[in-house]
């Protein structure tokens, strides 16, 4: 069932006309439970018919305020008109040839654009793949190949995907790893500078990590450090200042590649095109996905030309990687980022959200921390007066938001983070209304 057109032309209003989920959604949910295993969950099982601007519309006619963007994907808004136009044109021209069989220009152009836009003005190359996890897998393949070293270093609270290698790189056991072992070898996890939960500052935490790398692995055995410049699933943790630069400097001095996983932080989300820019980090390899193509499955590894070019012909690729429809969508997204000053809008969203959330935190002592950059904002919920995580309260608040028609997501190693990822094109009145609803959820 479809109600017709989505995109920014959808009425930009919250409308709750049934219980949430409504009767029609509940019917489909019943079918789903007989057709789809519960291992694939849904944050809020309202079944979507349209989305655009700052709203998601469901089969029961409810219009929800979107603070999720399909997990940081629809940065330029859902069904962006130029994405729709280019996708429609491409789908009518050809849907697939496989870039490894007969290539097409859009792939090359996406690669050129990413080489230009990502941090650093050195010569770069890009490969396109289908998902964030696949991008991270390929970054590790390239790093191992180029360095001829086996070990990969990751960090506490990190998230890198659900495939065998990337779930191994991921820190959190439940739900990502539990029962899915044995894991891939030669992955080592180091401490992360988590400002709200750590006594040590950034440089001191980095020194601890570097000491462990040196003593436990041997720097000369390490191909790469893989790190999210702001941690996503781990709870929107911005590493304490100085942590990332110290790790980057150590990596450089020891021939270890610095891989920035910008899959969640990329394409304007944090108020810069890439989050590495906040601390002036220039990664050797960078992985991107989510915000890249308005929801069409596309991901990329962009990196130093000498590293990327080192791999033998045929060593990289995949049937669907850089699908032409997804590439056209990415080109429309990259144009929109520029034309609609999307990165600036992310900063404006942060400027509206952070002060209001800080005022809420003064009234509600269960808000232990308010943090984030641009439109990647979170609150961490604790037992008042302590830093003890309160995942039950967090789940209750998310539920109260959903009931009012505000779509929010949770996150965090302790399940006690409410995260806010509105589309960067959300109208200001919906942003403010969403914050009002969140405040209601706290009980005024």
Ligand X SMILES: *Cc1c(COP(=O)(O)O)cnc(C)c1O
- Specify the residue, 203 or 415, whose C-beta has the smaller distance to ligand X: 415
Integer Cα distance of 338 and 63 in angstroms: 28
Task: Tell the smallest beta-carbon distance from residue 72 to ligand X (Å).
Answer: 7
- By CB under 6 A, name the one of 126, 138, 198, 264 that touches ligand X: 264
Distances (CA, A) of 241 to 26, 161, 206, 249, 368: 46, 26, 10, 14, 20
156 is an interface residue for ligand X by CB under 6 A: no
202 is an interface residue for ligand X by CB under 6 A: no
397 is an interface residue for ligand X by CB under 6 A: no
Distances (CA, A) of 418 to 10, 124, 202, 216: 27, 37, 24, 35
Angle (CA) 347-350-354 rounded to 5° is: 155
- Specify the residue, 210 or 259, whose C-beta has the smaller distance to ligand X: 259
115 is an interface residue for ligand X by CB under 6 A: no
Over its C-alpha atoms, the chain yields an Rg (Å, rounded) of 21
- Specify the residue, 346 or 367, whose C-beta has the smaller distance to ligand X: 346
346 is an interface residue for ligand X by CB under 6 A: no
- Specify the residue, 144 or 269, whose C-beta has the smaller distance to ligand X: 269
Distances (CA, A) of 83 to 169, 198, 293, 329, 423: 33, 43, 8, 5, 15
210 is an interface residue for ligand X by CB under 6 A: no
Q: Residue 431: phi, psi to the nearest 5?
A: -60, -50
- By CB under 6 A, name the one of 52, 77, 132, 322 that touches ligand X: 132
Picking from 158, 180, 178, the residue whose alpha carbon sits closest to that of residue 169 is: 158
DSSP assigned state of 72: H
Q: Residues 171 to 190: which contact ligand X by CB under 6 A?
A: none
- By CB under 6 A, name the one of 6, 54, 161, 405 that touches ligand X: 161
- Specify the residue, 299 or 337, whose C-beta has the smaller distance to ligand X: 299
- CA 320, distance to chain mean position in Å, is 21
Q: Which residues contact 38 (CB under 8 A, 6 or more apart)?
A: none
229 is an interface residue for ligand X by CB under 6 A: no
Task: Tell the smallest beta-carbon distance from residue 73 to ligand X (Å).
Answer: 9
Task: Tell the smallest beta-carbon distance from residue 131 to ligand X (Å).
Answer: 4
Q: Residues 290 to 309: which contact ligand X by CB under 6 A?
A: 290
Quick one: angle between helices 428-441 and 391-403, nearest 10? Answer: 130
Site pattern 273..292 for ligand X (x: CB under 6 A):
----------------xx--
139 is an interface residue for ligand X by CB under 6 A: no
- Specify the residue, 137 or 328, whose C-beta has the smaller distance to ligand X: 137
- By CB under 6 A, name the one of 160, 189, 197, 272 that touches ligand X: 160
136 is an interface residue for ligand X by CB under 6 A: yes
CB of 131 within 8 A of CB of 299? yes
- By CB under 6 A, name the one of 159, 258, 267, 274 that touches ligand X: 159
433 is an interface residue for ligand X by CB under 6 A: no
- Specify the residue, 159 or 243, whose C-beta has the smaller distance to ligand X: 159
326 is an interface residue for ligand X by CB under 6 A: no
How many residues interact with ligand X (rule CB under 6 A)? 15
133 is an interface residue for ligand X by CB under 6 A: yes
Picking from 273, 262, 270, the residue whose alpha carbon sits closest to that of residue 375 is: 270
Q: Which residue is nearest to ligand X (CB)?
A: 132
Q: Which residues contact 176 (CB under 8 A, 6 or more apart)?
A: 159, 162, 167, 170
- Specify the residue, 21 or 132, whose C-beta has the smaller distance to ligand X: 132
- Specify the residue, 66 or 433, whose C-beta has the smaller distance to ligand X: 66
414 is an interface residue for ligand X by CB under 6 A: no
Range in contact with ligand X (rule: CB under 6 A) among 159-167, 192-200, 348-356, 418-426 = 159-167
- For residue 261, what is the enclosing H or E element? strand 257-261
- Specify the residue, 76 or 289, whose C-beta has the smaller distance to ligand X: 289
152 is an interface residue for ligand X by CB under 6 A: no
Task: Tell the smallest beta-carbon distance from residue 66 to ligand X (Å).
Answer: 17
Integer Cα distance of 258 and 74 in angstroms: 27
Determine if the peptide bond prior to 175 is cis (ω within 30°). yes
Picking from 300, 279, 306, 442, the residue whose alpha carbon sits closest to that of residue 361 is: 442
Integer Cα distance of 114 and 302 in angstroms: 7
Distances (CA, A) of 134 to 80, 140, 274, 365: 25, 10, 19, 41
228 is an interface residue for ligand X by CB under 6 A: yes
- CA 298, distance to chain mean position in Å, is 13
Q: Which residues bind ligand X (CB under 6 A)?
A: 131-133, 136, 159-161, 228, 232-233, 261, 263-264, 289-290
């Amino acid at each position: 069932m479809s109600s017709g057109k989505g995109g920014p032309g959808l009425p930009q209003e919250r409308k709750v006309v049934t219980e949430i989920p409504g009767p029609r959604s509940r019917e489909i949910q019943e079918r789903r439970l007989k057709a789809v295993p519960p291992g694939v969950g849904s944050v809020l099982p309202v079944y979507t018919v349209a989305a655009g601007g700052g709203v998601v519309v469901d089969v029961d006619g409810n219009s929800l305020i979107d603070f999720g963007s399909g997990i940081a994907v629809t940065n330029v808004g859902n069904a962006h008109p130029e994405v729709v136009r280019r996708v429609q044109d491409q789908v009518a021209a050809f849907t697939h040839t496989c870039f490894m069989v007969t290539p097409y220009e859009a792939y090359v152009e996406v690669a050129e654009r990413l080489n230009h836009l990502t941090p650093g003005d050195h010569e770069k190359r890009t490969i396109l793949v289908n998902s964030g996890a696949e991008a991270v897998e390929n970054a590790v393949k390239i790093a191992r190949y180029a360095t001829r070293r086996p070990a990969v270093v990751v960090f506490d609270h990190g998230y890198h995907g659900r495939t065998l290698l990337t779930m191994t790189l991921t820190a959190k056991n439940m739900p990502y790893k539990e029962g899915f072992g044995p894991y891939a070898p030669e992955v080592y996890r180091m401490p992360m500078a988590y400002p709200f939960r750590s006594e040590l500052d950034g440089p001191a935490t980095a020194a601890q990590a570097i000491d462990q790398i040196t003593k436990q692995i041997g720097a000369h055995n390490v191909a790469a450090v893989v790190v999210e410049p702001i941690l996503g699933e781990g709870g929107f943790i911005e590493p304490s200042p100085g942590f990332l630069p110290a790790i980057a400097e150590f990596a450089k001095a020891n021939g270890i590649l610095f891989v920035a996983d910008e899959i969640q932080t990329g394409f304007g989300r944090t108020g810069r095109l890439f989050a590495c820019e906040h601390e002036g980090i220039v990664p050797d390899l960078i992985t991107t996905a989510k915000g890249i193509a308005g929801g069409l499955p596309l991901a990329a590894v962009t990196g130093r030309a000498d590293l990327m070019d080192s791999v033998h012909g045929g060593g990289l690729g995949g049937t669907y990687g850089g699908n032409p429809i997804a590439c056209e969508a990415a080109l429309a997204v990259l144009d929109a980022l520029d034309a609609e000053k999307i990165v600036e809008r992310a900063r404006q969203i942060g400027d509206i959200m952070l002060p209001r959330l800080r005022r809420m935190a003064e009234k509600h002592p269960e808000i232990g921390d308010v943090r984030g950059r641009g439109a990647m904002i979170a609150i961490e919920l604790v037992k008042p007066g302590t830093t003890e995580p309160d995942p039950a309260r967090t789940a209750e608040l998310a539920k109260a938001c959903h009931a009012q028609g505000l779509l929010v997501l949770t996150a965090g190693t302790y399940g006690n983070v409410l995260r806010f990822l509105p589309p960067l094109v959300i109208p200001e009145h919906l942003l403010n209304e969403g914050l009002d609803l969140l405040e209601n959820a706290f009980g005024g």
